[in-house]
Amino acid sequence: MANETHVVEDGVMTSSPAKAATRPAWLLGVLAFILGLGLGVIVVGPTPNSVDQATDSNPATAIVDSEPIVEVDDLESPGVTGAIPAFPDTLVAVADTMGSAFKHLMWPLNGELRVMAIPGGQNVSLDASAIFFAVSDELPGLDGWLLSMGRFDIIEPVSAGVTSYVFHDAESGALGYTVLAEDGARLLSVRSNFEASNVAFLESPQAVVKAWGDWGWAIQDGEQIQLLTPDGAPKDTERGVALTSHPSGWVFVVEGDAVKLVSAGGGVSRISTELTVGSIRHAAFSPDGERVAICGDRGVEVVHVDDGQKQSLSGFPTSHVSWSSDSQYVLASSSAGVDVHDVDEDRSYPIFRTHAVRVAGAMALRAP
């Protein structure tokens, strides 16, 4: 298929965030419950600040397109730069354990890998800075998820009855989420001070939040995306499924076999390419906005948004992708660790092979 891009340019609206609302009374009860649960989890988990002593005796090495492999022993490397010389950031990951807790892994540029127990759940996400994470879990007798947010050293409950959530695409510690309300759903946001702000009422109870930035919100309702202004006012609608967004205001959308970018202002950039990652599980823009990494049950691909050119990075099932701060490396998480793909040099560094990694991210040395 010939590469062809059609672009409609427009502006991106901004607005002041909604005023903070008082924390609901029920949350105090949930707080007591989750703190008790969290403390119990931490007690049975690994010892804080302990170094993981596992080694990788049989790393997977098959990468499509004969991509060069550099096998990495996490314990023998004195920091990320000892294993991946040009990697610019501290590497962070959250992995499963044999129990109910998660493991928080932090590998600085220079220094040993640090592993700490954090409360577990069914799902976990990292924010754009890789500093804050969100955990959701189902509890008996509770509709929706119990959503909590925090850092590796502290986590607090955000809300019960949550039906969807997503981190802000640029701001650290900013989380948007939906809860069922009346005959629809309510869209809220919370920041690191844990004060919830009401954003908008969504008329459909099936509406879920898929992307959020200073440009506004992308709300998914079936096969339709509703774009909202930053303060929650309806702005536009578009067909397809929203996967991720960039701070510039572009939302990456898949509609059937078609791939496109939808602007917060209503413009559309159609990308002539065909994804072959199978069932899509996650996608992420590069910080410079020039590429999108997409992963699924058939591997990882990178699409160049300007001309639709595509790079196949892996053929392994992958659950989550993210980028380094310099837009050079894709971090691909799976049950077999993390593959750090250098998309400029066509090289792959498999790390954390003894860890079943849920998500991984790059913590930039500069302030977020």
CB atoms within 10 A of CB 206: 12
Q: What's the CA gap between 254 and 284, in Å, rounded?
A: 13
Q: What is the pLDDT of residue 11?
A: 35
**Could you tell me the two tokens for 130?**
């890789």
CB atoms within 10 A of CB 88: 17
Q: For the whole model, what pTM was predicted? A: 0.80
Q: List, for residues 17-51, the tens digit of each pLDDT value.
A: 233 333 443 443 444 444 343 333 332 233 333 33
DSSP assignment of 251-273, as one string? Answer: EEEEETTEEEEEETTS-EEEE--
CB 201 within 8 A of CB 184: yes
DSSP assignment of 142-182, as one string? Answer: -SSEEEEEEETTEEEEEEEEEEEEEE-SSSTT-EEEEEEET
Rounded mean pLDDT of 159-165?
Answer: 96
| % of the chain beyond a pLDDT of 90 | 71
Identify which has the larger pLDDT, 47 or 244.
244
Query: Where does the pLDDT of residue 141 fall: very low under 50, low under 70, confident under 90, or very high at 90 and above?
Result: confident
**Number of Cα atoms under 13 Å in the Cβ half of residue 31:** 10
Q: List, for residues 270-303, the tens digit of each pLDDT value.
A: 999 999 999 999 999 999 999 999 999 999 999 9
Q: What's the CA gap between 290 and 276, in Å, rounded?
A: 20
Please tell me what DSSP assigns to residue 127: -
Residue 262 confidence (pLDDT) above 60: yes
Residue 74 confidence (pLDDT) above 60: no
| % of the chain beyond a pLDDT of 70 | 78
